[in-house]
Structure 1
Amino acid sequence: MQEFLNWTVDTIREDRLISPWLEEKKYEWVPLVSKSIVNILDKGCSILIITDSERDWFLKYILTNLNSHKQNRPFLPFYNFKSFYKDLDSLKTEDDISFIKDMLNISFPNGYCFWYIGKSNDVRATLPKFTKNSFLWIFDEEIQDAFNLKTTDEALDMKLLQMFRLFNKTLSAALFADINVEN
């Protein structure tokens, strides 16, 4: 079983579709991905994916590829949050958030986590940003415990695809005990 940080660096270097920029961010990437995968595989949490409206295409991409038969692994509990709550764009009060969290606690007795990809100031970011254990890919704001990106980056879409590729490979490696993400 390979150490997670070394495996991540080796994977980035060996995969011709992942650019070296991600290796430079390895110390930001590894702890966030580790926490996310532990939540899924060890704690049995379901992952509720939310994106800002500009990244709806990416949400579809993730859901199409994550549990594809091509992965040759069991399906994992990733869901589009909009399938549970359609009015995400109209969240306004703490009561709204409280009601949603109550619903999710009933629906997911083993727990749930949010995976948010998008602008920090988007209304859709509200729930994930203030929920414990969220996996955040945040744009245009430096937030602790988040992978921070800039919307002004010309290569943003390519970087998102590369990050997903690495995350998906990490899921498989952890699931099949090739790596221990807790170390």
Structure 2
Amino acid sequence: MQEFLNWTVDTIREDRLISPWLEEKKYEWVPLVSKSITNILEKGRSVLVITDSDRDWFLKYVLTHINSQKKNRPFLPFYNFKSFYKDLDEVKTEDEIKFIKDMLNISFPNGYCFWYIGRSQDARAILPKFSKNSFLWIFDEEIQDAFNLKNNDEALDMKLLQMFRLYDKTLSAALFAEINVEH
């Protein structure tokens, strides 16, 4: 079983579709991905994916590819959060957030976590930013325990696809015990 950080660097270097910029961010990437995958595989939590409106295309991409039959792995619990609560753009009060969390606690007895991809100041970011186990890919704000990107980066869409590719490969490697993401 290969050490997770070394596996990540090797995978970035060997995969011609992942650019070297991600290797430079390995110390930001590895702990966040480790926490995310541990939440799924070890703690049995479901992942509720949310994006800002500009990244709706990416949400569709993730949900189409994460459980593709071509992967030859068990389906994993990734869901579009809007299928549970369609008025996310309208959430404004603490009571609304409390009611949503109550609904999710009932719906997911093993727990859940958010995966948010988008601008930090977007209304859809409120719930994931203030939830303990969120996996955050945040634009235009430096937030601790988040992978921080710039919305004005010309290569942003390509970077998102590369990050997803690496994340997906990490999921498979962890699922098939090729790596231990906790070490």
TM-score normalised by L of structure 1? 1.00
1:158 corresponds to? 158
1:31-54 superposed Cα distances (whole Å, 9 cap, x missing partner): 000000000000000000000000
Q: Aligned letter for 2:95?
A: D
2:65 corresponds to? 65
Matches within 5 A, 1:106-145: 106-145=106-145
Residue 153 of structure 1, CA deviation = 0.4
Residue 159 of structure 1, CA deviation = 0.1
Cα distance in 2 for partners of 1:145, 1:71 equals 29
1:102-155 superposed Cα distances (whole Å, 9 cap, x missing partner): 000000000000000000000000000000010000000000000000011000
Cα distance in 1 for partners of 2:71, 2:116 equals 23
Q: Aligned letter for 2:21?
A: W
Cα distance in 2 for partners of 1:34, 1:151 equals 25
Q: Which runs of 4+ in 1 moved over 4 A?
A: none
1:29 corresponds to? 29
2:3 corresponds to? 3
Cα distance in 2 for partners of 1:47, 1:91 equals 20
Q: Aligned letter for 1:93?
A: T
1:41-99 superposed Cα distances (whole Å, 9 cap, x missing partner): 00000000000000000000000000000111000000000000000000010000000
2:19 corresponds to? 19
Does residue 1:50 correspond to 2:58, yes or no?
A: no
1:98 corresponds to? 98
Cα distance in 2 for partners of 1:88, 1:49 equals 12
Q: Please state whether the residue corresponding to 1:133 is helix, strand or coil.
A: coil
CA RMSD of aligned residues (A): 0.2
Q: Aligned letter for 2:45?
A: C
Cα distance in 2 for partners of 1:72, 1:10 equals 22
Q: Aligned letter for 1:98?
A: K
Cα distance in 1 for partners of 2:7, 2:73 equals 19
Q: Aligned letter for 2:57?
A: W
Cα distance in 1 for partners of 2:8, 2:109 equals 32
- Aligned positions, number: 183
Matches within 5 A, 1:78-89: 78-89=78-89
Cα distance in 1 for partners of 2:156, 2:139 equals 10
Cα distance in 2 for partners of 1:88, 1:133 equals 19
- Structure 1: any 5+ residue segments left out of the alignment? none
Identity of aligned residues (%): 86
